[in-house]
Amino acid sequence: MVTTSAPDSAGPSPSGAERAEATNGRAFEPNADRSSPNRNLTPLSTSLDQHDRLLVGGCRLEELAVTFGTPLYVLDEATLRSTCRAYRDSLERFYPGPSLALYASKANSSLALSALVASEGLGLDAVSAGELLTALQGGVPPERIVLHGNNKSEQELELALTHGVTVVLDNWHDLAILSRLAPGRPGPVRLMVRFTPGIECHTHDYIRTGHLDSKFGFDPDQLEPVLRHLAGCAWAHVDGLHAHIGSQIFELDPHRDLAAVMADALALARSLGHPCSDLNVGGGLGIRYVASDDPPTIQEWVRCVAEAVATACHERNLILPRLLCEPGRSLVATAGLTLYKLGSRKEIPGLRTYVSVDGGMSDNPRPITYQSRYTAVLAERPLADSAGLVTVAGKHCESGDVLLHDLALPQTESGQVLAVFATGAYNASMGSNYNRIPRPAAVLVNNGEAELVQRREQPEDLLRYDVVPSRLGHLP
């Protein structure tokens, strides 16, 4: 544990209007809703010391960079817990039946995050043996875990059955494997059947999963045949149904449409003799990456989903199921930021100025993959006036390795620390060792203390699994 709190900290930032004016609407725009972190550009604990240097969780960011090195993932515990509670409490408030929020751990999977969400009473969804083992060893109860995946291996399904985890049945391939593995076990296998609801959302093509042309789930016309087939499988217990319509969604209407589709499916399943006590609507709520983003609050999203499901079930005379949802991005993204050290600078007169950092697409592949945008400031000078626009480039041997385009920054110097916000989701989990660059460390900050939750890879770690054939001779 490392204590990095600044003795001269001035506490929380001054009024939002003052900060927004001082930064021209960059990182210190007022927190839109402290009870709904997905609406904020920075973690809830973000503040400035008396010298206007940036702190998160009471820890000075440039001090974290010195202590732990860069690139560095920083996670704010206060924001994580606040988001967990926002989902949990909103479900209890707005849904008249039982409910459970499951953390979609593909967003950021670690022992620390598993332990944290479990301590807040949430469940977890995993999509691989690695994520499943991480959840189990992180202390998430098996009965609060579901296993997703459109091409589950026999090993992954065996692991789920051994630990009593609910399996989300995605296709006939899953069913064929389970038909071999499940019979003869002490109890039935808990299943949730996933289907595509045919609902379009205005999001990136790669993260649309609810429309008909999707690799996930049974097509609507296959739902009845698979449910009839499962009715004849003594080893199967169909606990519920699952559908998911996409990611980074700012609209609410598609979720209302989903409730009606799922209620029809629920009525069908129960008519065929399945108990179907769970209805899982997936996740998809968006977050605020830049000032112009305007997602609904967590409370608004949950209320919309809860009321729509309750109404749809009432109209069909259905006993209310347990309502499940799977927040991922909206639970962890805002809690995270990444620290980089500035390096080289290249000015192309009349065209562009490149400022390079010591990371890039290996620790954040989203800009090159999805053209994603972020908000960033200098950690030690977040309020300084802009000296112009720069393009923040990564260090990888790839022309497209650019993290931020046209970022307003003061005059920069090599060695300064750049803080990029809202990197808690899909950065570490989608990272790579491109160019044989080791993965960053990660720390959890709270009340002025920083604790390592992921060790930094070293160059020699990257050689651990290399094997040189004997015919190539012995290496020194």
Q: What local confidence, expressed as pLDDT, does residue 152 receive?
A: 98
Q: Annotated catalytic, 397?
A: yes
Distance from C-alpha of 50 to C-alpha of 56, rounded to nearest angstrom: 14
**Cα dihedral sign, 106-110-115-116:** negative
Phi, psi angle pair for 354, to nearest 5°: -95, 130
pLDDT digit string, tens, across residues 172-182: 999 999 999 99
Q: What CATH number labels 78-332?
A: 3.20.20.10
Q: What local confidence, expressed as pLDDT, does residue 16 receive?
A: 34
Cβ–Cβ under 8 Å, residues 250 and 286: yes
Helix (H, G, I), strand (E, B) or coil at 331: helix
What are the start-end ranges of the H helices in 288-436? 298-315, 329-332, 366-370
Q: What local confidence, expressed as pLDDT, does residue 200 receive?
A: 63
Cβ–Cβ under 8 Å, residues 167 and 178: yes
Identical topology for domains 2-70+335-461 and 78-332? no
Q: Which residues of the chain have pLDDT under 70?
A: 1-33, 200-212, 476
Closest among 337, 217, 323, 216 to 278, alpha carbons compared: 323
233, 304, 313, 397: the catalytic one is 397
Q: What local confidence, expressed as pLDDT, does residue 34 receive?
A: 78
Distance from C-alpha of 201 to C-alpha of 215, rounded to nearest angstrom: 16
Phi, psi angle pair for 405, to nearest 5°: -100, 140
Q: What local confidence, expressed as pLDDT, does residue 198 receive?
A: 78
Q: What local confidence, expressed as pLDDT, does residue 294 receive?
A: 94
Distance from C-alpha of 259 to C-alpha of 257, rounded to nearest angstrom: 5
Closest among 358, 420, 428, 424 to 393, alpha carbons compared: 358
Q: What local confidence, expressed as pLDDT, does residue 279 receive?
A: 98
Phi, psi angle pair for 410, to nearest 5°: -70, 180
Cβ–Cβ under 8 Å, residues 406 and 355: no
2-70+335-461: what fold?
Lyase, Ornithine Decarboxylase; Chain A, domain 1 (2.40.37)
Q: Structure tokens of 189?
A: 């296998």
Q: Structure tokens of 199?
A: 């609902």
What are the start-end ranges of the H helices in 182-252? 220-231
Distance from C-alpha of 437 to C-alpha of 458, rounded to nearest angstrom: 9
Q: What local confidence, expressed as pLDDT, does residue 25 receive?
A: 41
- Crossing angle of the two packed helices 111-119 and 129-137, in degrees rounded to 10: 60
Q: What local confidence, expressed as pLDDT, does residue 470 receive?
A: 87
Question: The whole model's pTM is what?
Answer: 0.91
State the distance between the two ends of the chain, measured CA to CA, in whole angstroms.
38
Q: Where are the domains of the chain?
A: 2-70+335-461, 78-332
pLDDT digit string, tens, across residues 51-67: 999 999 999 999 999 99
